[in-house]
Structure 1
Amino acid sequence: MAATLFLRNSLLHNHPLSKSFSASPYSSKPHSYSIKAAKMLGSEITEEEETNVNEKKKVFVAGATGSTGKRIVDQLLAKGFEVKAGVRDLEKAKSILPDNPALQIVKADVTEGATKLAEVIGDDADAVICATGFRPSWDLLAPWKVDNFGTVNLVEACRKLGVNRFILISSILVNGAAMGQILNPAYIFLNVFGLTLIAKLQAEQYIRKSGINYTIIRPGGLRNDPPRGNIVMEPEDTLYEGSISRDQVAEVAAEALVIQESSYKVVEIVSRIEAPKRSFEDLFGCIKQQ
């Protein structure tokens, strides 16, 4: 039953399926720095009124019109980030993404190479979130073009720009063979489409060797309905079944930008009715850094 649920939700998904900073790289709200203006009076320096200066962090989201990507955009905007949404179809994006002054929509195709992606991402990006996923077709190379080479292109674009924060939405069971799950129906099914999970796994390995501060998020079968139950977060190669609402995946991705403990980690997530509610600091903090 669990495997069937995973397969069904995975297909709906089209399946999207350096050490850690000494301080949290981002804040859940725009940064607010208190600056005291100083004025020289003779030999004395006097302090004037404090002035607040707000600085919003900008995040580039690849795959922003996907079922998970658009939810990530919503989460980031709600948390006060500026967002640059990378999409292949501008008209589609304008029809489904919110009208928000903090959102910029740009045309971006991860298969077109790192140099072009770097131009689109721009030199003002603080982080990149990859929520891309190939569209099922008869092209058996599609998973490699998008989920492998496309992700590698994004990583290389970050390196060109000096962007040192990268979050990838991957999938549980990407390392199913090493987990002894080679006969798991979900593992077999997802690899039928051009060895999708293997393509994702190799992209993960590239990220981990890149030197960029990464968080790799491996969700279970993705559901379009609202969250049911609380998030369960486990280390890599632990979960082989289960599902989770896309809303919760988007929330985990956005929180990863805020929480220091998410750096250099691979986490697997599902939701369970019986699971206790835990803070994201606790969830990420219980996973060992790679």
Structure 2
Amino acid sequence: MRVLVIGANGAVGKQVVDRLKESDHQPVAMVRDTDQIPYFEEKNVETVLADLEKNFEKAFYNTEAVIFAAGSGPKTGADKTIIIDQEGAIEAADLAKKHGVNRFIMLSSMGAGQPKKAEQIKHYLYAKHRADEHLKSSGLNYTILRPGRLTNEPATGKVNVHEGSPESGSVPRADVASVLVYLLSAPRAENKIFNLIEGATPLSDVLAY
């Protein structure tokens, strides 16, 4: 499939693009600045210049699937979080529906199902929660992935993926990227929400749908 990666220049997004390159899928990296383009051109990855804070509909032309891996980052305030993690994600789902996208994979966050429980990052989890709820009601073929705390440790290739649990833990970004790509071709994962942390089960077994 031709897969639009929103947030392609991020820490997870770059690894998603790499995993897609290794698969049968064709990645299209959505970037907001021209100086981000050469990185992907060197990898022979198609790019589209578009900004989540503006009109980014052109990114969806000829798109078959979407992986939404964008995030405002830990150094931004609540306003930016709402713009990117909530409104940007909601608009992406609406555009995907409009353009007949076959599959939408959302990178969310553990805790987004019950945002009231996390006082310090409540605004972030509420933004993720609202985006997730909108995607669920959009009519799109979706999967929402809610990883635990993200680390920069090397990929282990072994994870714990379950609906509704676990509710705490961590996972390398590299493994998150691999799971996001696996979900594109996991029929039994369609229209479901999964929590993800590092574990003992190989990816090939966890997602052998």
Question: TM (normalized to structure 2)?
Answer: 0.91
The structural deviation recorded for 1:147 is: 0.6
**Structure 1 gap ranges (5+):** 1-56, 286-290
Describe how 1:26-41 pairs up with structure 2 within 5 A: none
- Out of 93, 105, 112, which is 2:47 matched to? 105
Q: 1:73: which partner in 2?
A: 17
Q: 2:150: which partner in 1?
A: 222
Describe how 1:25-174 pairs up with structure 2 within 5 A: 57-95=1-39, 97=40, 99-101=42-44, 103-112=45-54, 116-122=55-61, 124-137=62-75, 139-174=77-112
Q: 1:4: which partner in 2?
A: none
Give the distance between the partners of 1:278 and 1:86, measured in 2 at CA.
27
Give the percent of matched residue pairs that are identical in Structure 1 and Structure 2: 30
Give the distance between the partners of 2:156 and 2:43, measured in 1 at CA.
29
The structural deviation recorded for 1:100 is: 3.4
Q: Pick closer, same or farther for the CA change 1:98–1:188 going to 2, 3 Å.
A: farther
* SS of equivalent residue, structure 2 residue 121: helix
- Out of 139, 142, 151, which is 1:211 matched to? 139
Q: Pick closer, same or farther for the CA change 1:261–1:133 going to 2, 3 Å.
A: same
Give the distance between the partners of 2:105 and 2:208, measured in 1 at CA.
14
> Is the 8 Å Cα contact of residues 5 and 30 (structure 2) preserved in structure 1?
yes
Q: 2:181: which partner in 1?
A: 254
Deviations 1:195-252 (A, max 9, x none): 010110010000000000001001111111202472001113x222110011111111
1:196 maps to a residue whose letter is: Y
- The answer to which structure, 1 or 2, has the higher relative contact order (CA under 8 A, 6+ apart) is 1
Q: 2:202: which partner in 1?
A: 277
The structural deviation recorded for 1:164 is: 2.5
Would you say 1:240 and 2:179 are equivalent positions? no
* SS of equivalent residue, structure 1 residue 111: coil
- Out of 163, 172, 190, which is 1:263 matched to? 190
2:94 maps to a residue whose letter is: E
* SS of equivalent residue, structure 2 residue 10: coil
**Structure 2 gap ranges (5+):** none
Give the distance between the partners of 1:226 and 1:90, measured in 2 at CA.
29
Q: Pick closer, same or farther for the CA change 1:68–1:98 going to 2, 3 Å.
A: farther
* SS of equivalent residue, structure 1 residue 141: helix
Q: 2:159: which partner in 1?
A: 231
* SS of equivalent residue, structure 1 residue 268: strand
Q: Pick closer, same or farther for the CA change 1:252–1:229 going to 2, 3 Å.
A: closer
Give the distance between the partners of 1:132 and 1:166, measured in 2 at CA.
13
The structural deviation recorded for 1:156 is: 1.0
The structural deviation recorded for 1:126 is: 0.7
Give the distance between the partners of 2:181 and 2:157, measured in 1 at CA.
19
> Is the 8 Å Cα contact of residues 146 and 195 (structure 2) preserved in structure 1?
yes
The structural deviation recorded for 1:137 is: 4.6
Q: Pick closer, same or farther for the CA change 1:107–1:234 going to 2, 3 Å.
A: same
Give the distance between the partners of 1:132 and 1:276, measured in 2 at CA.
27
* SS of equivalent residue, structure 1 residue 258: coil
Give the distance between the partners of 1:79 and 1:90, measured in 2 at CA.
26
- Out of 103, 119, 127, which is 1:188 matched to? 119
* SS of equivalent residue, structure 1 residue 188: coil
> Is the 8 Å Cα contact of residues 4 and 60 (structure 2) preserved in structure 1?
yes
The structural deviation recorded for 1:68 is: 0.2
The structural deviation recorded for 1:90 is: 2.5
* SS of equivalent residue, structure 1 residue 261: helix
Deviations 1:51-85 (A, max 9, x none): xxxxxx21000000000000000000110321110
